[in-house]
Amino acid sequence: MTNMPSNSNTAARIRRCAAWVVLLALAIGGVIAGSMGTGAWASSVLSGSIVAVAVVCVGALLRGTASRGSSGQQALIEAIRLSDSAKRVLFREHEVELLRRTIETDIEAGEYNAALVLCEQLARVFGAVEEGEQLRSRIQAILHQRHESTIRGEVEKFDNLLSEQEWVAGYQEAARLRRLYPDSPLLHDLEQRIADARAAYRHGLEDRFLAAAQREEVEEAMVLLKELDRYLTPDEARRFRDTAKAVVDSYRDTLGTRFSMAVNDHRWTEAIEFGDAIIRQFPNTKMAQEVRGLQPTINQRAAEEANA
């Protein structure tokens, strides 16, 4: 009878040691599970569940110090046998809150696809359908805004091509944007915008040409006429036929006058420049033939002047 207290104390110490052994084993298991690449959220949930089981097990063992060995062993067995579903019920609020924080972290980091997957888990696993849908709508709104911002930046580059009259490049860019973003309403009128910009530029050329011709600014009018010729169809060019002919004749006469004055003043370099312009722009005229006849003499005189 005198040995019974001693045996009871020994059993209690054994049970306490067993409790710490169980706790240590489960903690090591949690560390190993967390290092197996299951993801931050899954690792946290798994580790939390393991720790919870450890606490239950330790409590069962420690409570066994006040009872006989068989009841303590039964409590430990029942705690270990807790199913995953039971653990999820016990720690549901903790897991849901952890899931919410992980979703917010993914959104801040721009990991929108990962956040959408977690929204699906929030709704399907934990039954928070409305909250999951709200978070999903928020993420999709962010994605839509980023998508539109990207497209607007591309359209701005497209508009820059039109402002520089790069019509061919504009059509190529429009085709590229349609391939990349086929469903975007921001791109539905790209070809029409090219046509409108081209027509507006042509009308501007017409107005400037007529104004320069009216002011008798022959050289400016001639430059504008050459540019305008690229945009006019034969039918459209008929409207400017008389004005264009007057400008061309005046410009040719001006070149001829400047050529003659340069020759008479022995300004051989300028004479060569004006003569080349006449031959290049009016190759089939009588004036061009006369210039070709004088070119050998002018070139010789220019060379002598340079050597002197």
Judgement on whether residues 202 and 224 belong to the same structural domain of the protein: yes
163 in a structural domain = yes
**What is the SS3 string spanning the chain?**
CCCHHHHHHHHHHHHHHHHHHHHHHHHHHHHHHHCCCCCHHHHHHHHHHHHHHHHHHHHHHHHHHHCCHHHHHHHHHHHHCCCHHHHHHHCHHHHHHHHHHHHHHHHHCCCHHHHHHHHHHHHHCCCCHHHHHHHHHHHHHHHHHHHHHHHHHHHHHHHHHHHCCCHHHHHHHHHHHHHHCCCCHHHCCHHHHHHHHHHHHHHHHHHHHHHHHHCCCHHHHHHHHHHHCCCCCHHHHHHHHHHHHHHHHHHHHHHHHHHHHHHHCCCHHHHHHHHHHHHHHCCCCHHHHHHHHHHHHHHHHHHHHHHC
Quote the mean pLDDT of the chain. Answer: 79
17 in a structural domain = yes
| Domain termination site, one of 186, 203, 232 | 186
Residues of the chain with pLDDT under 70: 1-91
Judgement on whether residues 195 and 182 belong to the same structural domain of the protein: no
| Domain termination site, one of 152, 186, 220 | 186
pLDDT given for residue 192 in this prediction: 94
pLDDT given for residue 31 in this prediction: 45
Judgement on whether residues 35 and 84 belong to the same structural domain of the protein: yes
Q: Number of folded domains in the chain?
A: 3
204-250 pLDDT, tens per residue? 999 999 999 999 899 999 999 999 999 988 888 888 889 999 999 99
Judgement on whether residues 18 and 85 belong to the same structural domain of the protein: yes
pLDDT given for residue 45 in this prediction: 44
pLDDT given for residue 170 in this prediction: 95
pLDDT given for residue 96 in this prediction: 83
Range of the structural domain that residue 157 is part of: 106-186
Judgement on whether residues 20 and 69 belong to the same structural domain of the protein: yes
142-165 pLDDT, tens per residue? 988 998 999 999 999 999 999 999
pLDDT given for residue 36 in this prediction: 45
Judgement on whether residues 226 and 259 belong to the same structural domain of the protein: yes
295 in a structural domain = yes
pLDDT given for residue 95 in this prediction: 83
Judgement on whether residues 235 and 275 belong to the same structural domain of the protein: yes
pLDDT given for residue 165 in this prediction: 94
Judgement on whether residues 163 and 254 belong to the same structural domain of the protein: no
Judgement on whether residues 202 and 303 belong to the same structural domain of the protein: yes
65 in a structural domain = yes
pLDDT given for residue 162 in this prediction: 95
pLDDT given for residue 71 in this prediction: 59
